[in-house]
Structure 1
Amino acid sequence: MSTEWKLFADLAERAGDKHVAVDAAAGDTVGDALEALLDESPDLEDRVLDGDGELRSQINVLRNGTNVLVEEEGLETELDEDDELALFPPVSGG
């Protein structure tokens, strides 16, 4: 089974697409799916991870529209079948 990431703004530009399918299934974690995404689209890594390999604090990771870093178990959140994952860069108002 594969899981699809939706990428926004410059993340989509770096990956070359707004939708990237990765090899992740129910029971895997959001972190597993993120690792698969970075393997698939290595140009994202320096934008998404800091120098220590940790997720940058400004990056938002959503599962089915919910920010997993705030309302769930972070990157340890388990995937269910048909989950929609999204990655947002920092958003500035104007």
Structure 2
Amino acid sequence: MATEWKLFADLAERAGDKRVAVEASAGDTVGDALEELLADRSELEERVLDDEGGLRSQINVLRNGANVTVEEEGLETELEGDDELALFPPVSGG
């Protein structure tokens, strides 16, 4: 079963698409799905992960509209059947 990521702004440009399906299913974690997303996308990986391989603090990861690092268990959050995942870069206003 595939899970789909929605990517926004420069993250979509780096991935080459606004929507990317990855091999991840119920029982896998958000981190597993993120690994699949970044596996063949080094330019996106450099933007999303820091030098230690952790998620950059300004990158937002959402599962069904909820920020997993704030409202759930971070990248250890388990996926359910039809989750919608999204990656947002930092948002600045003016």
- Alignment-derived partner of residue 37 in structure 1: 37
Q: Is the 8 A contact 1:62 1:87 kept in 2?
A: yes
User: How far off is 1:43 after superposition?
Assistant: 1.8
Q: Give TM-score scaled by structure 2 length.
A: 0.98
Give % identity. Answer: 81
What is residue 8 of structure 1 aligned with on the other side? Answer: 8
d(CA) in 2 for partners of 1:17 and 1:92? Answer: 22
Distance 1:20 1:40 in 2: 12
C-alpha RMSD of the superposition: 0.7
Letter in 1 for 2:23: D
Q: TM-score, normalised by structure 1?
A: 0.98
- Alignment partners' CA distance in 2, 1:50 and 1:73: 19
Residue of structure 1 equivalent to 2:93? 93
Alignment partners' CA distance in 2, 1:41 and 1:7:
13
2:72: which partner in 1?
Answer: 72
Describe how 1:48-59 pairs up with structure 2 within 5 A: 48-59=48-59
Stretches of structure 1 that go unaligned for 5 or more consecutive residues are none
Letter of the aligned partner of 1:46 in structure 2? E
Instruction: State the distance in 1 between where 2:42 and 2:79 align.
Output: 22
Number of equivalenced pairs: 94
Measure the CA separation in 1 of the matches of 2:20 and 2:44. 12
Rounded to whole Å, the distance in 1 between the matches of 2:6 and 2:40 is 14
Q: CA deviation at 1:41?
A: 2.4
Counterpart CA distance in 1 for 2:48 and 2:31 is 12
CA distance in 2, matches of 1:6, 1:41: 15
